[in-house]
Amino acid sequence: MTGPVTVRPCTAEDRDAVVALWTACGLVVPWNDPAADFALALSKTSSTVLAAVADGRLVATAMVGQDGHRGWIYYVAVDPALQGRGLGRRMVAEAEGWLAAAGMPKVQLLVRETNQRVLAFYERLGYAKSPVTMMQKWLTNPSP
């Protein structure tokens, strides 16, 4: 990466590059279709996917959304070859800015308890664990 990094909202044309990045970063799981997640985020005014572009190439993302009371951040991804250079921090800051502009008073995100590296990353950015229990129920049959 030699040129400046710019951050912009994704367009539908970014889908393949975004899904490839999410896959390279290990964010894709069998029960979530990343292309569908991307399309849904772009179809609503309450969400989007932000992209960092350098040298004409998509190098990082953050999906943001809000429900009127709180903001959510998902799919923070940085090209594995570029990790450790502040792009993840920048994408979280850009996501927080998008949510603040939407009037959200707080931001939430989900991290698996076993993912200590990512938990430490968010703690360095000022995030704290919430004393809540997340519950879920499948309304469809998830893929194995």
The per-residue pLDDT string of the chain (144 residues; one tens digit each, 9 = 90 and over) reads 677 999 999 999 999 999 999 999 999 988 889 999 999 999 999 999 999 999 999 999 999 999 999 999 999 999 999 999 999 999 999 999 999 999 999 999 999 888 899 999 999 999 999 998 889 898 887 765
- Residue 9 and residue 50 in contact, taking contact as beta carbons nearer than 8 Å: yes
**pTM, full prediction:** 0.92
Domain annotation for the chain: domains and CATH numbers: 5-124 (3.40.630.30)
Compute CA 118 distance to the chain's CA centroid, rounded to the nearest angstrom. 13
d(CA 6, CA 87): 11
Continuous segment of H or E residues that includes residue 34: helix 34-43
